[in-house]
Structure 1
Amino acid sequence: MKKNLVFIALVFFCLSINAQNMTDISLKWKGSTQQESEIVSESGDLYQKLAHHGPAIENEWMGLRLYFDHKVAVDVYNKTRPGLELAEAEWYPTEKQQKEGWGADQYKVGSTVGMGGVRLWDPVKKESVFLNPVSKRTAHVRKEANISYMEMLSENVPYMGDSLDILVRVTVFSGFREAKVEAFAFSDKPVHFLTGINYHEKTKTKQGNNFICTWGIHPEDVAAFQMNIGAAIIYHPDNFASISKKKDQFELVSKPCKYLSLWVTSACEKEEGFPSYEKFVEYVGSLEL
């Protein structure tokens, strides 16, 4: 049975108005306990200066962060049980906490887009374009009644002889596993966005009609214990001009547009209901837009 993501998100949005908000945000300088709502950089690179390398959000199922540098990649924090962990774990729980059932940074992004990160695509040169250099990059987080979101605004990005501003927004919903990724181009002309999902030597991949998912071990050395994790993007095929599998990531190039959206989700083998690759593929395959 197919599950419509937009309808389900709306249902959870309505049901959670009077319920506990199971989402959270985090944006702060490394070593600081003070949370910020917005941080700005003219260099566009605060990767080493911010806690968890950029803004972060979570719901009870997973955490997500945007790298505050040229990649603007989406990374995942996997959980083994429902709950909020970001405020205390700060993305890097101790080995003791992980033994007690806390989540961990299992996902390895490297130089890729991660899980639904956003770049631009130059159709003339046939190459991806980082959202870099910039005149200014701004990270923003906000928590509302039943959702939390993070944004990264990259200003004056050079693109095909012009410069434009690109906003990437990622939203999590209380009580709803999937997160929404949106890209906005503030430009007179439409652009080609590039997004996708990465994979590694020990991960299996599956491409469906409207999704791509991966499952397996990521070569991450931050987590105390490795485990199989699943990651997926769910999208409208009609929004894309090409979908190709490269050596370390699937790349989806959009048709000319000024707005693009897709959904991302993740799970791990220690979670209830996701013991295997087959179960994760079955779950992702039941989702539609």
Structure 2
Amino acid sequence: MKISFVAFLLFCGICFGQNNTDTSLYMKSDKITYLTDIGSESGDLYKTIGHHGPAIENEWMALRIYFSEKVAIDVYSKQKPGLELKGASWYPTPEQQKGVWGADYYKVANTVGLGGVKLWDGEKVVPLNPVSNRLARVGKTDNTSWMEMISKGVPYKGGKVDILIRVTVFSGKREAKVEAICLSKTKVQFVTGVNYFKDFKSDKGANYIAVWGLHPEDVAAESIEVGAAIKYNPKDYVKNVDDGTQYLLVSKPTNHLETTILSSCAKEQELNTFDKLVSYVKK
């Protein structure tokens, strides 16, 4: 009887201790070899890296950071919980998308995307570009996966700063954490937020912004409504900006900033409407 009970506990440990997250970083020319880090003095490997930059996923969504002047965060939406990056490489076939696979319904355009980070010079948004070097890294722990992008030598207010963006997904948790860190010995103003398009629904609370609607996507097999939300500590920010394409949050001068992001779509079973997304975010 003891042996059976021990076996049961081991079985439960394997099942419930499983890390349902993953990373993906590879060159388009070599889809077999997965990398842990890569760099470029030009700051642009958009066309040479698979899915245009490092990517991570948990059961409900995948996220990528564009390895280009955008450094925006983009979303891959899923119909059912599971890991898909290794099989889909972000772009499943039309047949797979109309079956049970996810798809790239989200469009970033010229924005921060969902929780992406840039700088603020007191008057306007400052991109993390040009750079003296840009580095991408991915890694895993027992129950998380993370990706980082370091933009070195970014011009800012007459000087240059090094900025690290880290995104972490958690096994069994819908939300992802986004951190912005200034590695230089100076404080900066970060700007983050969430983008939107015409006819989007939106809801703003004291510590969150949620949006829902159809993205003008050109790579997915069909158009599906997508929801996105960012949660933040209002004490960290001094200004909100709506530029007609994105709701932006401007931070106080700091070395470190942290937000939480999540996304869902109309094809999934749980947060498949705007009201359900907003209700979840408010909890």
Q: Same fold (TM over 0.5)?
A: yes
Aligned to 1:21: 19
What is the CA distance between 1:222 and its match in structure 2?
0.9
- Which of 227, 232, 239 matches 1:235? 232
Indicate conservation of the 8 Å contact 1:16/1:146, yes or no. Answer: no
SS of alignment partner, residue 125 of structure 2 = strand
Q: TM-score, normalised by structure 2?
A: 0.93
Task: Name structure 1 gaps, 5 residues minimum.
Answer: 1-14
1:188: Cα distance to partner? 2.1
Counterpart position of 2:88: 89
Q: Which amino acid aligns with 1:220?
A: E
Q: 1:260 aligns with which of 247, 257, 260?
A: 257
Read off the aligned partner of 2:21 and give its amino acid letter. Answer: T
My pick for the range that moved more, 49-58 or 268-277, is: 268-277
Find the residue that maps to 1:177 and give its secondary structure. Answer: strand
Match of 1:8 in 2: none
- Count the aligned residue pairs: 270
Distance 1:243 1:120 in 2: 14
Deviation at 1:100, TM superposition (A): 1.6
> Is residue 189 from structure 1 mapped to residue 148 from structure 2 by the alignment?
no
Q: Is the contact made by 1:16 and 1:175 (CA closer than 8 Å) also made in structure 2?
A: no
Distance of 2:241 and 2:49 partners within structure 1: 33
In 2 relative to 1, CA 16–150 (structure 1 residues): closer, same or farther, beyond 3 Å? Answer: farther
SS in 2 for 1:281: helix
1:30 is matched with 28
CA contact (8 A) 2:264 2:272 kept: no
Q: Which consecutive aligned stretches of 4+ in structure 1 deviate over 3 angstroms post-superposition?
A: 15-18
Q: CA deviation at 1:145?
A: 1.3
Shift of 1:61: 0.6
**TM, length-normalised to structure 1:** 0.91
Residue number in structure 1 paired with 2:67: 68
What is the Cα deviation at residue 187 of structure 1?
2.1
Q: Percent identity?
A: 53
Query: How far did 1:245 drift?
Result: 1.6
The answer for unaligned runs of 5 or more in structure 2 is: 1-12
Q: Is structure 2 residue 147 aligned with structure 1 residue 147? A: no
Deviation (angstroms), 1:19: 1.0
User: Aligned residue for 1:3?
Assistant: none
Partner SS for 2:90: coil
Deviations 1:193-236 (A, max 9, x none): 01110000132111111100110111001111111111000000
2:111 pairs with 1:112: yes
Q: Whose relative contact order is higher, 1 or 2, with alpha carbons under 8 Å and at least 6 apart?
A: 1
Tell me if structure 2 keeps the 8 A contact 1:213–1:231. Answer: yes
Equivalent residue for 1:163? 160
| In 2, Cα distance between equivalents of 1:268 and 1:161 | 42
